[in-house]
Chains A and B, each alone.
Chain A
Amino acid sequence: MPDVTRRQLLRWIGAGGAGVASGVIPFLAAAGQAGDAKGTAREQTLQSTGRQWVMVVDRKKCEGCTTIDKPPRCKAACKKEHFVPEEQNWMEVYEAPDEGGGTYFKPRPCQHCEKAPCEHVCPVEATYYNPDGLVLIDHERCIGCRFCLAACPFQARYFNWGKPENPPGAAFASYSPEYPVPHRIGTAEKCMFCGHRLRQGKLPACVEGCPMQALWMGDLTEDVATNGTEAVRLSAFLHERHAYRDKEELGTRPRVFYLPGHGEDYGR
């Protein structure tokens, strides 16, 4: 695959590639820093970082963490990062049947649909798009009608049916729709692509937590993606690896791409 030009990569990863060596890429050094933003938590999420986020899931690499004999690490990292309440898995890893009669692992974050059914049906615009292509939930506005749970074709949404547990770390967090902690009773929940980390130039918790480097975070405007150790030109990467999107036929235009697994040239 054609690698990104050196200049581009340097600009993109900010800290001159030093991060690559240490395994931690300051992902978004150029983006607006958290803290200097003005306005309500919701208004702050409407400030653009100039990126258009996408996630790429490499099914060739994802083994569902069965080879290391652990529950999926991405899921665990997500749970830890957000104190995700029990019975919710914002990042879920399914074992899905494949064409050949076997199974494959299918990590499923929120697909951050560009034409998100959950956003269309929300009666109070608690679910909204931010300029970077994230689909966010304003938990201070959500009325808990759960229309979005019914409308999401990817089963990506959850609900705080009772009083969610907020451990000390969560209870004192400062809420933002990009980092919806502490959790609130009677509101809808889902993956936010770790909007708060992206703003700080960090990769999402799941991408960072994946020991197989199967998850990539990418930016459509700069046309690059990284899994934390490598960087690639996004468009070529998707093209050459025959990327597909889940339930593409519905036309919701997900921002999550899947790369087919072994022995599969094309989607699914």
Chain B
Amino acid sequence: MNAEAEVREMEAAVLRPVTERSRTFILFVLAAVAVILWALYAWSVQLRNGLEVTGMRNHVSWGFYITNFVFWIGISHAGTFISAVLRLTGVGWRTPVVRMAEFMTVGALLVGGAMPVVDLGRPDRILNLIYHGQLNSPILWDLLSVTSYFTGTLIYLYLPLIPDLATCRDRLSDKVGPLRRWFFHTFSLGWQGTPEQWRLLNKGIRAMCMMIIAVMISVHTVVSFIFAMTWRAGWHSTIFGPYFVIGAIYSGIAAVVTEMWIFRKTFRFQKYITPNHFRWLGNILLAAGLVYFYFTSAEYITAVYKMSEHELGLLQALFHGPYSGYFWSYWIGGMAIPLLLLSLPRTRNMLGIGIASILINIFMWIKRYFIVIPSMAVPLQPTPWGSYSPTWVEISIVAATFAGFALIVGTLGKSVPLIPMWEMAEELEIESDARDLAERKRSAPRPAGPVPGYAPGGGAGR
């Protein structure tokens, strides 16, 4: 098959889910909306009665919401990591997964960013953060960094989408409703695929790429500073910044792998998302996991060796006290098993890597839980330990962040092409060029014919 035909086939496959009506998708949306509506009710109860309806009290004054905040901001890292870092380093295989990873960043930032707001005792006064914002406070750093990351991600997601939106505009106008026709038309910004437009686009993508990596690192660093800037046992640590960033990449990439698994099946992208993609991402996941293992061990070994009075109670609670169940299950389910699955040749297949990714997702939530809660429960005065157990309100709202996240990513995936078609086409052409070259070397030398150019949106090459 020549390159042009391959590109056409790929475009057809990528555009299919955009136009196809699917019963499963509607059921999925309904289920997600139901969970969200229930959580809105729970939130209204909380707004009426105050945070009294949560399990938080004076001793353990942060709970599920802050845990969940750290979790989602962590997930949001992978989108950029995969997309920007791999783009910058020119890794070709990234193409089919970058956009879904970026969708994930958008979804995770939206639901994660809502968490601190839900956690506020006085959400009605949230604008005080603007009127009276104090740059002293890590909360302000978080606010600035998360909003810049969100804005940057939207731009960075949008730029490579323009040529694909133009393709949709030209090909799908009779297959979609007026709303989406308008959307494709407006947001493709009159893209014609002229050399000047390509030059500008590539320049923009490259600039955003570098900027977004810096912002990404800052985001989880300052999230960790919310904890590290206090005196509490377990939080009072200098490595919290990089420790959290690596943890975020570890959990984020795991989430991308899970997502890839789901989209590959439901959107029938088996041809473009191959077992190799799982293996390649599995390698990065393994690397991130090992670095995270290193940081986590360093964090605990230095504390365990000294057994300072300050940390002693916390360590006992984690090792054989009330939190030991979480702690040890994390080491087994969140580190040992996934890292083995990712490194043993026999399990380095889609199933093994997929299971590892799901385990990592679950246990990284638990990890954040036992980073936040026990350090709060440590008594700072001669009092008993604090206790915490979430109420139905907190559980409902946290559940809704998962539903909301799935809804955002799913809807985005159904609305615009999930695989960047023009980048994919470039990939296919490079591959077919390589094949041509190999063939030419084998057969008699003949003059090289022109490689069919690719310009989406009805450009001259077609």
Q: List chain A positions with a Cβ less than 8 A from chain B.
A: 87-88, 92, 94-97, 106, 108, 117, 120-126, 141-147, 149-155, 157-163, 185-188, 250
Q: Are B140 and A123 in contact, CB atoms less than 8 angstroms apart?
A: yes
Is B137's CB under 8 angstroms from A250's CB? no
B230 touches A187 (CB 8 A): no
Which residues of chain B are near A159, meaning CB under 8 Å? 51, 58, 61, 121
A163–B48 Cα distance when bound, in Å, is 9
Q: Which residues on B sit within 8 Å (CB–CB) of A88?
A: 58
Contact (Cβ within 8 A) B121 A185: yes
CA–CA, A97 to B382, complex, Å?
8
9 example contacts (A-B, Cβ-Cβ < 8 A) are as follows A87-B57, A121-B137, A121-B230, A125-B134, A143-B121, A143-B129, A144-B122, A162-B50, A162-B51
**Contact string, B259-277, partner A, CB cutoff 8 A, digits 1/0?**
0000000000000000000
Q: Of A95, A106, A141, A161, which is within 8 A of B125 by CB?
A: A141
Bound Cα distance from A119 to B134, whole angstroms:
10
With A123-B139, A159-B51 known, 14 other A-B pairs at CB within 8 A are: A87-B58, A88-B58, A92-B381, A121-B138, A121-B229, A122-B137, A124-B134, A126-B132, A142-B122, A142-B125, A144-B51, A147-B138, A150-B232, A187-B121
Q: Which residues of B contact A122 (CB under 8 A)?
A: 134, 136-137
Minimum distance in angstroms from B423 CB to a CB of chain A? 41
Instruction: Find out whether the CB atom of B132 lies under 8 angstroms from the CB atom of A144.
Output: no
- Once A87-B58, A144-B122, A145-B139 are accepted as A-B contacts, the answer to whether A108 and B381 lie under 8 Å apart by CB is yes
What residue in chain B is nearest A246 (Cβ atoms)? B381
Given the complex, which residues of A lie within 8 Å of B379, measured CB to CB?
A: 155
- Asked if B116 lies at the interface with its beta carbon under 8 angstroms from chain A, I say yes
Q: How far is the CA of A120 from the CA of B132 in the complex (A)?
A: 14
Q: Is the CB of A150 within 8 A of B139?
A: no
- Report whether over half of chain A's contact residues are helix, strand or loop; otherwise say mixed: loop
Nearest-neighbor residue (CB-CB) of B128 within chain A: A124
Q: Please tell me which one of the listed residues B132, B226, B231 contacts residue A124 in the complex, with CB atoms under 8 A apart.
A: B132
Decide: B136 and A121 in contact? CB cutoff 8 A. yes
- Looking across the interface, which residue of chain B has its beta carbon closest to that of A157? B58
Please pick, from B49, B131, B137, B380, the residue contacting A155 in the complex, using a CB distance under 8 A.
B380
Say if the beta carbon of B133 comes within 8 Å of chain A.
Answer: yes
Mask of B52-63 contacts with A, CB within 8 angstroms, 1/0: 111011110110
Q: Tell which of A97, A144, A145, A151 touches B231, judged by Cβ atoms closer than 8 Å.
A: A151
B383→A94 contact, CB < 8 A: yes
- Closest-by-CB residue of A relative to B139 is A123
| Contact pick for A158, options B58, B116, B226, CB 8 Å | B58
Residue of chain B at shortest CB distance from A120? B136
Given contacts A120-B137, A143-B126, contact A95 B120 (CB under 8 A): no
Contacts of B133 in A (CB 8 A): 123-124
B353 at the interface (CB under 8 A from A): no
CA distance A152 to B229 in the complex (A): 11
Chain B residue numbers with a CB within 8 Å of A186 are 50-51, 120-122
Residues of B within 8 A of A154 (CB): 380-381
Residues 120-162 of B, flagged 1 when their CB comes within 8 A of A and 0 if not, give 1111011011011110111110010000000000000000000
The answer on a CB contact under 8 Å between A147 and B121 is no
Which A-chain residue is minimally distant from B235 (CB atoms)?
Answer: A150
Chain A nearest Cβ from B212, distance in angstroms: 25
Q: In the bound complex, what is the Cα–Cα distance between A152 and B232 (angstroms)?
A: 9
Beta-carbon contact of A150 and B129 below 8 Å: no
The answer on a CB contact under 8 Å between B383 and A161 is no
A170 CB, nearest partner CB in chain B, Å: 17
Instruction: Tell me if B230 and A145 are in contact (CB < 8 A).
Output: no
By the criterion CB–CB under 8 Å, are B226 and A147 in contact? yes
Closest 6 CB pairs of A and B: A144-B121, A186-B121, A162-B52, A123-B139, A123-B137, A96-B382
Does B129 lie within 8 Å of A123, measured CB to CB?
yes
Which of B123, B229, B380 is the one whose CB lies under 8 Å from A153? B380
Closest A residue, CB atoms, query B135:
A123
Q: Is the CB of A250 within 8 A of B231?
A: yes
Give the one of A121, A145, A187 with max B CB within 10 A: A145
> Max chain B CB contacts within 10 Å: which of A88, A147, A150?
A150
Closest partner residue, chain A, to B232 (CB atom): A150
Give B144 Cβ to nearest chain A Cβ, in Å: 11
Measured between beta carbons, the chain B residues less than 8 angstroms from A97 are 382
Task: Chain A residues near B382: list those with CB within 8 A.
Answer: 94-97, 106
Contact present for B116 and A145 (CB under 8 Å): yes
Report yes or no: A124 in contact with B62, Cβ–Cβ below 8 A: no
Contact A141 B132 (CB under 8 A): yes
The answer to whether B49 touches A162 (Cβ under 8 A) is: yes
A160 to B379, CA, bound (A): 20
B57 — which chain A residues lie within 8 A by C-beta? 87, 161
Q: Which of A87, A143, A151, A160 gathers the greatest number of chain B CB atoms within 10 Å?
A: A143
Whether B61 pairs with A146 at a CB distance below 8 angstroms is: yes
Nearest chain B CB to A259 CB, angstrom units: 18
B231–chain A nearest beta-carbon distance, Å: 5
> Using a CB-CB cutoff of 8 Å, which residues 49-89 of chain B contact chain A?
49-54, 56-59, 61-62
Question: In the docked arrangement, what's the CA distance between A125 and B136, Å?
Answer: 9
Asked if A141 and B229 make an inter-chain contact with CB atoms under 8 angstroms apart, the answer reads: no
In whole Å, how far is A263's beta carbon from the nearest beta carbon of chain B? 19
CB distance from A123 to the nearest CB of B (A): 4
- The answer to whether A161 and B380 touch across the interface, beta carbons within 8 angstroms, is no
Question: Does A125 contact B51, Cβ atoms closer than 8 Å?
Answer: no
**B436 contacts partner chain A, Cβ-Cβ < 8 Å:** no
Which residue of B122, B137, B229 is within 8 Å of A187 (Cβ)?
B122
In the complex formed, the residue of A with least CB distance to B141 is A123
B376 within 8 A of A: yes
Closest residue of A by beta carbon distance from B58: A158
Task: Report yes or no: A143 in contact with B122, Cβ–Cβ below 8 A.
Answer: yes
Residue B426 lies at the interface, judged by CB distance under 8 Å to chain A: no
User: Could you tell me if B380 and A150 are in contact, using CB atoms closer than 8 angstroms?
Assistant: no
B272 to chain A, nearest CB (A): 45
Q: Which residues of A contact B62 (CB under 8 A)?
A: 146, 150
A121 to B126, CA, bound (A): 16
Q: Do the beta carbons of B121 and A160 come within 8 Å of each other?
A: yes
B119 located at the interface, meaning its Cβ lies under 8 Å from any Cβ of chain A in the complex: yes
Asked whether, in the complex, the Cβ of B58 is within 8 Å of the Cβ of A143, the reply is no
Chain B nearest CB: distance from A262 CB in Å?
18
For residue A121, which residue of chain B has the nearest CB? B137
Q: Mark B209-231, 1 if CB is under 8 A from A, else 0.
A: 00000000000000000100111
